[in-house]
Each structure stands twice: as C-alpha cells, then as structure tokens.
Amino acid sequence: MNNKLFVGGLSWGTTDKELMEAFSPYGTVTEAKVIKERDSGRSRGFGFVTFDTEAEATAAAEALNDTELDGRSLRVDFAHDKR
DNA sequence: GTTGAGCGTT
C-alpha cells in the first residue's frame, strides 16, 4: 500500500479537514489526518493523507508538493513505515 | 501566548 502520503510544512492552525479539502479533488481520500500532540492536542505541523489508489496519491503529491497551503509552503511525499 | 524538520493513531 503505497498510497500513504506524508504532508509537512503545515501551518499550526491547519487541521485534517483542510487536508481533506486540499487532497480530495485530486483523488479519493480514504484517510486524511493532521498529527497533533497526544497530550495537549496541539498541531505538530504535519499530517498523513491516504488515497484509494497509488496513482491518485502520486498525482496529489506532485500537485500539492512544494505548493502553498494556509500561507505556508507545503511538503508532500510518500510516507515511510516509520523512520 | 512559543517552534519549522520530520513520518501517526486506532
């Protein structure tokens, strides 16, 4: 499953809904979430977006990578199984 | 009330 996308460079106020709104038009988003502090709930500034297919994920990554969202430079790439 | 490369939780 290579449809997981790592999304970084998000603003502190950006949420999972914003990611969904930004990645939905590029394909079917099965999972869109912004990672936040588990203890305080503050945004970590990055998130994960999973598409229905790898082709959609690639298209979205190439489309939104190095672009701008919420006033911040977006950094989209394929997610790893943990670094 | 802060920060700015990275890779999550159920």
pLDDT digits (tens, 9 = 90+) for A62-81: 999 999 999 999 999 999 87
A17 strand B contact, CB < 7 Å: no
The pTM assigned to this predicted structure is 0.92
As a whole number of angstroms, the distance between CA A83 and CA A37 comes to 18
Cβ(A63)–Cβ(A26) below 8 Å: yes
A68 strand B contact, CB < 7 Å: no
Q: Which strand B bases fall within 7 angstroms of a protein CB?
A: 3-9
Cβ(A49)–Cβ(A31) below 8 Å: yes
pLDDT in tens, A8-36: 999 999 999 999 999 999 999 999 999 99
Q: Which residue is nearest to nucleotide B8 (CA to C1')?
A: A35
As a whole number of angstroms, the distance between CA A46 and CA A60 comes to 16
Burial status of residue A36 (CB atoms within 10 A of its CB: 0-12, 13-18, 19 or more): middle
